[in-house]
Amino acid sequence: MSHAQTPNHSGAAITLQKVHPFGEASLVLTTTAASPGGRLADRHSAYHDNLSPPLVWTPVADAAAYAIIVEDPDAPRDRPFIHWLIWNIPGEATSLPEGLPQGASLGLVGGATQGRNDSGAVGYFGPRPPVGHGVHHYHFQIFALAERLPFGPETQLSDLVNALKGDSLASADLIVTYEAAGA
């Protein structure tokens, strides 16, 4: 069977499809690294500098914290590939700078916590789709939270999702793309 005849993605739901905020607040997420639906700049890919992109969002009243989950549902596996988990971004924050360091605790972001991505590292892991696998879609999902989350960096995505289900005031999804060179 040729690649064109096989599924190009996991088909599994991304986190945003599993979490339904109880609030009615509006939340918008943007980046200067790509337009919505556009190609993410190479410097944010694991093929290049692997820098987390700068992110900006609209503030949500009464948000105690924010969480961001980045997933690739086009990964050739049975579930989306997790590229980034970061939570307890302070409620007064409306942005993250480019190039956040690896590691669990981010003092420069008010003590936000980063979790383990599917490459095995704690922090951001940029797009790295297989060469010849076509365009992948990266979902940068943000959740405004009513309370900070009591989790450490070894927290599993399923535990984070369960907490988000009961604590989200609002959410947004910024989708960008990336394709490996030589494809």
Q: What is the pLDDT of residues 59-110, one digit of tens each?
A: 999 999 999 999 999 999 989 999 999 999 999 999 999 999 988 777 768 8
Q: What is the pTM of this model?
A: 0.90
Only one residue has tokens 């009513």, namely 146
Q: Is CATH 3.30.460.80 correct for 18-95+138-183?
A: no
The angle subtended at Cα 158 by Cα 153 and Cα 161, nearest 5°, is 90
User: Residue 51 is encoded by which pair of tokens?
Assistant: 């820098």
> Any idea of the CA torsion for 97, 158, 15, 117, to the nearest 10 degrees?
40
Residue 106: per-residue pLDDT: 76
| Count of CA atoms in the C-beta half-sphere (13 A) of 107 | 0
With a cut of 50, list the residues of the chain below it in pLDDT: 1-7, 183
Residue 16: per-residue pLDDT: 78
